[in-house]
């Protein structure tokens, strides 16, 4: 659940050193205006949000402050302008308050506009502003080029990179880039993928269908798999589901019986998954499992256990605040994701 946050103190700063001094001054103001009530400065996480436009910067600020009650953070939102001739760093520094029961929680927000050559050296700008000895997440907002996010400096600076593989124009290319980085970094890279998190309800329903003992034998009898997504091409979510299923089924690479489909929408896009359909066969015994979205619900129809079972559950595509809150709750690499994205990247070729 998100909580409304609002700005209680703000200052303008020029240059990295002035940013830190301005933040300390804001906290001092809060201490003096606390009217005898205890003022606790609590931060459990650094979050650096790298943005490519003002819209993304506003989005990142709103999302991170709305979940600040559960995850009080030092938020550094960066909008880089590397092509500008004039070099400068301007920042708005604020404390944003979220009420949590009888207590107020404050999110420290630094919004930096970085112009010219310094935009190519964001790590050196950010590092002095981080609180030491607590985790640091780098959130790549929107669909920027991933060169800086996967640079050696950025990977060594942060504990996790958060991105949305579904936000990029070519999800397949992005998944291949992520898989390549996993292979290159050899266990030194942790990623939180918003598209992967959005497949969670689908993965849970499919896995639950094979939980009964009578259904487990059918895991090795899947003869075909179809995954449809909304739009004009398969989405990152669809590829990730396909990769996860291929990995869980133990299918040999290159022999996966998968068809990826798309249900056209008015706009060219790659959107959420809308159907997962499996056909299972053992000699003359043919069975099926189908999960699809139906008017605000997720419906599963299956006869894997021998009897026809239909089940529905309320469902809507989780919004960004909900997904980011879940990622912050877990704050670690999902052990299934690296293999799923590696298989998805291979399938998407």
pLDDT tens, residue by residue, 132-173: 999 999 999 999 889 989 999 999 999 999 999 999 989 999
Residue pair 116/23 in contact by the 8 Å Cβ criterion = no
5-163 to CATH, choices 1.10.760, 2.60.40, 3.40.50, 3.30.1360? 3.40.50
Query: What confidence tens digit (pLDDT) does each residue in 116-129 have?
Result: 999 988 899 999 99
Which residues are 224's β-sheet partners? 279
Half-sphere exposure of 274 (CA within 13 A, CB side): 17
Query: Does residue 1 have a pLDDT over 50?
Result: no
Can you read off the two tokens belonging to residue 24? 């300390």
CA distances from 72 to 44, 94, 162, 326 (A): 6, 14, 17, 14
Q: Which of 3-7, 122-126, 256-260 shows the lowest per-residue confidence on average (mean pLDDT)?
A: 3-7
Classify strands 103-115 and 5-14 as parallel, antiparallel or unpaired: unpaired
Q: Comparing 34 with 223, which gets the higher pLDDT?
A: 223
Query: Does residue 100 have a pLDDT over 80?
Result: no
3-state secondary structure (DSSP) of residue 159: coil
What percent of the chain clears pLDDT 70, i.e. is strictly above it? 92
Residue pair 103/137 in contact by the 8 Å Cβ criterion = no
Domain residue extents for the chain? 5-163, 200-318
Q: How far is CA 17 from the centre of its chain?
A: 31
Query: Does residue 130 have a pLDDT over 90?
Result: yes
H or E element at residue 228: strand 222-231
Query: Does residue 316 have a pLDDT over 50?
Result: yes
Predicted local distance difference test score (pLDDT) of residue 6? 58
Query: Does residue 266 have a pLDDT over 60?
Result: yes
Half-sphere exposure of 163 (CA within 13 A, CB side): 22
Q: Is 89 exposed, middle or buried (0-12, 13-18, 19+ CB in 10 A)?
A: buried
3-state secondary structure (DSSP) of residue 139: strand
Cα gap 23→152, rounded to integer Å:
29
Q: Which of 85, 138, 144, 82 is nearest to 113 (CA)?
A: 82
CATH topology of domain 200-318: Dihydrodipicolinate Reductase; domain 2 (3.30.360)
Predicted local distance difference test score (pLDDT) of residue 19? 85
The pTM assigned to this predicted structure is: 0.91
Query: Does residue 78 have a pLDDT over 50?
Result: yes
Q: Which of 234, 5, 222 is nearest to 104 (CA)?
A: 5
Query: Does residue 248 have a pLDDT over 80?
Result: yes
Cα gap 324→102, rounded to integer Å:
24
Q: Which of 99-108, 221-230, 247-256 shows the lowest per-residue confidence on average (mean pLDDT)?
A: 99-108
Predicted local distance difference test score (pLDDT) of residue 289? 95
């Amino acid at each position: 659940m998100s909580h409304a946050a609002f700005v209680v103190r703000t200052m303008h700063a020029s240059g990295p050193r002035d940013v830190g001094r301005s933040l300390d001054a804001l906290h001092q103001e809060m201490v003096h205006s606390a009217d005898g009530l205890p003022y606790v400065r609590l931060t459990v996480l650094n979050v650096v949000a790298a943005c490519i436009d003002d819209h993304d910067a506003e989005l990142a600020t709103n999302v991170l402050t709305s979940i600040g009650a559960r995850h009080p953070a030092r938020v550094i939102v960066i909008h880089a302008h590397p092509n500008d001739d004039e070099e400068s760093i301007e920042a708005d520094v604020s404390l944003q308050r979220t009420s949590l029961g009888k207590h107020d929680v404050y999110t420290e927000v630094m919004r930096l506009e970085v112009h010219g050559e310094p935009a190519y050296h964001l790590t050196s700008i950010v590092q002095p502003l981080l609180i030491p000895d607590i985790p640091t997440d780098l959130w790549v907002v929107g669909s920027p080029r991933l060169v800086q996010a996967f640079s050696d400096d950025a990977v060594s600076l942060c504990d996790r990179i958060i991105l949305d593989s579904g936000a990029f124009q070519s999800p397949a290319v992005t998944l291949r880039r992520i898989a390549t980085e996993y292979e290159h970094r050899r266990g030194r890279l942790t990623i939180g993928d918003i598209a992967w998190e959005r497949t969670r309800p689908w993965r849970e329903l499919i896995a639950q269908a094979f939980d009964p003992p009578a259904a487990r034998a059918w895991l090795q009898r899947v003869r075909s798999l179809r995954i449809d997504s909304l739009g004009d091409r398969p989405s990152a979510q669809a590829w990730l589901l396909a990769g996860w299923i291929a990995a869980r089924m133990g299918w040999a690479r290159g022999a996966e019986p998968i068809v990826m489909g798309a249900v056209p929408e008015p706009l060219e896009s790659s959107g959420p998954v809308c159907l997962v359909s499996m056909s299972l066969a053992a000699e003359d015994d043919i069975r099926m499992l189908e999960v699809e979205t139906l008017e605000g619900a997720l419906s599963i129809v299956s006869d894997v256990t021998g009897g026809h079972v239909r089940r529905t559950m309320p469902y809507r595509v989780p919004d960004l605040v909900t997904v980011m809150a879940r990622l912050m709750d877990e704050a670690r690499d999902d052990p299934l994701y690296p293999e799923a994205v590696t298989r998805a990247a291979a399938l998407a070729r």
